[in-house]
């Protein structure tokens, strides 16, 4: 950790932690599990003047918050429904309770330290659960359609027009008349957690953006920021991370 933060090339650049995800890969003919981050998150934050830092979700990871200037919580697997008092839906998948709990502790510590936080897709769902909210475990059961995660042989983004709260931070970041999401999710906010405000919705009523009240910069978006060329949210996180604390 110190070798990254103290690198002369990184001097003066805000350090943004990125919560790692794990995935099985085959490399040089060998099967293995790796910790990784989407390269676009790394590239967008670096281009915005930050030093991205991968944070494996291990017990005690929250102790690193004091070395960070911001946190990005990316998309990933479904959260353990026991965290919000429910049994798993038949299609709830890829749960990792230990990683969930480590990530919850990390995000709580980041919010308590008033670090800027950008929570994407699963990250937004985790932000809601952290505040006592619940999730729709399979959104098609509620909406009657698969538009938020198109049923295609390959990874395909769904697209939805967004309605944004005009005075919200997310509306200020996107700053356009007809914003649209590019999403790939089958879960979404059900009961909104305490201390959160919903600030964006799809046309079918699905909550697409939330913000932490009384926090300098803590935004959750349900769409796949980082899977398109749109860098505005990463730039906003970088800008918030570069401000002096308590400003």
247 in a domain, yes or no? no
pLDDT of residue 246: 52
CB 170 within 8 A of CB 199: yes
Domain presence at residue 104: yes
Q: Is the pLDDT of residue 229 over 70?
A: yes
Q: Percentage of residues in the chain with pLDDT exceeding 70?
A: 94
Residue 246 inside a domain? The answer is: no
CA distance 203 to 210: 16
**Domain-embedded: residue 121:** yes
DSSP 89: P
The span from the CA of 222 to the CA of 112, in Å, is: 23
In a domain, 64, yes or no: yes
pLDDT digits (tens, 9 = 90+) for 139-197: 999 998 998 988 888 888 888 899 999 999 999 999 988 898 888 889 999 999 999 99
Give me the CATH number covering residue 72.
3.40.50.880
Does 24 score more than 70 pLDDT? yes
Radius of gyration for the alpha carbons in the chain, expressed in angstroms and rounded: 17
Split at pLDDT 50, 70, 90, the class of 18 is very high
Structural domain includes residue 195: yes
Q: Is residue 190 part of a domain?
A: yes
Q: What is the mean pLDDT of the chain?
A: 92
Whether pLDDT at 7 is above 60: no
Domain membership of residue 194 (yes or no) is: yes
Give per-residue burial for 150-176: e unless 16+ CB within 10 Å, then b: eeeeeeebbebebbbeeebbbbebbee
* Dist CA 124 CA 196 (whole Å): 11
Show the tokens assigned to 73: 């919580």
CB 93 within 8 A of CB 195: no
When divided into structural domains, the chain yields a total of 1
Give the residue numbers spanning the domain of 39: 2-23+31-241
pLDDT of residue 247: 46
State the pLDDT at residue 99: 95
């Amino acid at each position: 950790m110190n070798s990254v933060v103290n690198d002369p090339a990184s001097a003066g650049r805000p350090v943004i932690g990125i919560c790692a995800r794990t995935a099985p890969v085959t490399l040089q003919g060998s099967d293995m599990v790796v910790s990784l981050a989407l390269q676009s998150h790394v590239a967008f934050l670096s281009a915005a003047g930050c030093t991205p830092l991968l944070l494996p979700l291990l017990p005690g990871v929250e102790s690193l918050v004091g070395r960070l200037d911001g946190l990005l919580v990316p998309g990933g697997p479904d959260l353990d429904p026991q965290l919000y008092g429910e049994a798993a839906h038949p299609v709830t998948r890829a749960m990792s309770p230990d990683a969930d709990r480590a990530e919850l502790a990390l995000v709580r510590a980041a919010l308590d330290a008033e670090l800027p936080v950008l929570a994407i897709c699963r990250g937004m769902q985790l932000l809601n659960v952290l505040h006592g909210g619940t999730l729709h475990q399979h959104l098609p059961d509620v909406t009657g359609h698969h538009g938020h995660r198109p049923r295609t042989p390959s990874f395909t983004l769904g697209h939805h027009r967004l309605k944004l709260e005009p005075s919200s931070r997310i509306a200020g970041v996107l700053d356009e008349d007809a914003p649209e999401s590019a999403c790939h999710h089958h879960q979404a906010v059900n009961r909104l957690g305490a201390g959160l405000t919903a600030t964006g919705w799809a046309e079918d009523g699905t909550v697409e953006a939330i913000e932490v009240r009384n926090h300098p910069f803590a935004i959750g978006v349900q769409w796949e920021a980082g899977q398109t060329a749109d860098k505005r949210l990463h730039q906003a996180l970088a800008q918030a991370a570069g401000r002096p604390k308590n400003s």
